[in-house]
């Protein structure tokens, strides 16, 4: 979902190719078994739990304009949002085989691309943030069609979509743009209609990432413009607290229910801040690669994944020990990480280098790819 500061889904328009040191590339190539230029680059059988060191198992070229991805137990596929070739009307949601990364399904979205994805596996619906039109759509993955589009009428810049599967509720962050305020939209998953809008206390806050504390009946959100974390009570849908994000450029965050901690990706600080959720105080700062962006916490094993856009790496941390386990090169601009709790495998989208406005597309063999990580 993303980058710094506020391109589609938070993309970073000025980012160039990641910094690659020759020795680092050689080591990564030996570990991952990657061979530049191949459509699919296998490194090992895609299995987890072998006790081996974390590694990139496979990287595959998929489709232009990749953004967020989710892993579905309902379809058994990894679904990824893609805007399609620049200047075209061929946006899609692709369903990838979780082992080979071959395309098994596709949902054509035409000129209405999805950027963020939020999955409700219980209903088989994926919810998309449609940044260009300022809407959120509900898409039936098995039927392959849009079943509803929610338009709060505020416009702006919808970004992250977060699904509370147990409650069948959907939350979408709206960064706000062109005079539109920041907001969090609440969608009733049973009717796929707008159930509420939270704006008070969020105006001009540049809300980006969302994390749910179901036990505490609250949301946490990152405020990119004020370098804060905002706590929202879901009992009455209002902001109850704000506290520093522990760095500059907070873009995404994850909540650890067991430890009652927040992990905040601060892009400009090149670090993840570990915060005490009760006190709002910094517990520790974890240095990362350049431009930490996508962040995901697997509660089953405590592994924290951080996609670092500008360095082209995904950092793996032991969230309980707060220690770095590995830094893996996956592609040009790692964007979003999702994991499969059943297999233990993680998946990352790697955006391609941009040639800039008005420039022809860049031939980037390490962009528009998806990688599989064994932890």
Q: Is the pLDDT of residue 40 over 60?
A: no
Phi/psi zone of residue 44: left (φ > 0), alpha (ψ -120 to 50 degrees), beta?
beta
pLDDT at residue number 51: 67
**Tens of pLDDT along 342-351?**
999 999 999 9
Q: Is the Cβ–Cβ distance between 53 and 32 less than 8 Å?
A: no
Q: Is the pLDDT of residue 60 over 80?
A: yes
This prediction has a pTM of 0.88
Number of independent structural domains in the chain? 1
Between 142 and 156, the higher pLDDT residue: 142
CA 211/CA 91 separation, integer angstroms:
27
pLDDT at residue number 153: 72
Average pLDDT over residues 116-135: 96
**Tens of pLDDT along 262-298?**
999 999 999 999 999 999 999 999 999 999 999 999 9
Residue 282 lies in a domain: yes
What is the pLDDT confidence band of residue 21, given thresholds at 50, 70 and 90?
very low
Average pLDDT over residues 29-41: 35
CA 340/CA 323 separation, integer angstroms:
22
Q: Is the Cβ–Cβ distance between 241 and 255 less than 8 Å?
A: no
Length reported for the chain: 375
**Tens of pLDDT along 159-194?**
999 999 999 999 999 998 767 789 999 999 999 999
pLDDT at residue number 50: 53
Could you give the count of Cα atoms lying within 13 Å of 126 in the half-sphere of its Cβ?
Answer: 30
Q: What is the CATH number of the domain that holds 368?
A: 2.130.10.10
- Residue 93 pairs in a beta bridge with 81, 107
Residue 211 lies in a domain: yes
Q: Is the Cβ–Cβ distance between 181 and 155 less than 8 Å?
A: no
CA 116/CA 172 separation, integer angstroms:
9
Average pLDDT in the chain: 87
- Domain carrying residue 339: 8-355+363-374
Tokens of 186: 């609440």
What is the pLDDT confidence band of residue 14, given thresholds at 50, 70 and 90?
very low
Average pLDDT over residues 214-237: 96
Q: Is the pLDDT of residue 42 over 60?
A: no
Residue whose tokens read 């405590």? 302
Residue 1 lies in a domain: no
Which helix (DSSP H) or strand (DSSP E) does residue 23 occupy? helix 22-32
CA 293/CA 68 separation, integer angstroms:
12
User: Residue 22 carries which DSSP code?
Assistant: H
Residue 3 lies in a domain: no
Percent of the chain with pLDDT over 90: 77
């Amino acid at each position: 979902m993303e980058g710094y500061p506020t391109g589609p889904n938070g993309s970073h328009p000025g980012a160039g190719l990641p910094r690659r040191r020759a020795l680092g590339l050689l080591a990564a190539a030996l570990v991952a078994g990657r061979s530049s230029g191949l459509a699919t680059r296998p490194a090992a059988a895609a299995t987890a739990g072998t006790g081996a060191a974390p590694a990139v198992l496979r990287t595959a070229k998929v489709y232009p304009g990749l953004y967020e991805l989710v892993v579905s137990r309902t379809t058994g596929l990894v679904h990824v949002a893609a805007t399609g070739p620049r200047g075209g009307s061929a946006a899609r949601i692709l369903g990838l085989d979780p082992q080979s990364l071959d395309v098994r399904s596709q949902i054509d979205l035409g000129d209405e691309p999805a950027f963020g994805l939020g999955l409700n596996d219980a209903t088989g619906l994926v919810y998309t943030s449609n940044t260009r039109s300022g809407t959120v759509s509900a898409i039936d993955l098995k039927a392959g069609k849009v079943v509803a589009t929610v338009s709060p009428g505020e416009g702006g810049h919808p970004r992250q979509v977060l699904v509370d599967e147990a409650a069948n509720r959907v939350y979408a962050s709206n960064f706000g743009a062109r005079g539109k305020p920041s907001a969090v939209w609440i969608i009733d998953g049973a009717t796929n209609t707008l159930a509420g809008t939270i704006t008070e206390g969020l105006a001009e806050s540049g809300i980006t990432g969302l994390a749910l504390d179901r036990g505490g009946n609250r949301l946490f959100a990152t405020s990119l413009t004020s370098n804060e974390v905002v706590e929202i009570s879901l009992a009455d849908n209002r902001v109850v607290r704000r506290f520093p994000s522990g760095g500059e450029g907070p873009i995404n965050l994850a909540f650890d229910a067991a430890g009652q901690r927040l992990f905040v990706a601060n892009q400009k600080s090149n670090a993840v801040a570990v915060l005490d959720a009760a006190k709002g105080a910094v517990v520790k700062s974890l240095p990362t690669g350049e431009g930490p962006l996508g962040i995901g916490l697997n509660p089953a094993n405590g592994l924290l994944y951080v996609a670092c856009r500008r360095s082209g790496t995904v950092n793996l941390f032991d969230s309980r020990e707060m220690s770095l386990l590995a830094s893996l090169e996956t592609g040009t601009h790692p964007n979003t990480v999702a994991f499969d709790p059943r297999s233990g495998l993680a998946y990352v989208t790697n955006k391609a280098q941009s040639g800039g406005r008005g420039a022809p597309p860049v031939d980037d063999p390490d962009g528009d790819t998806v990688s599989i990580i064994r932890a």
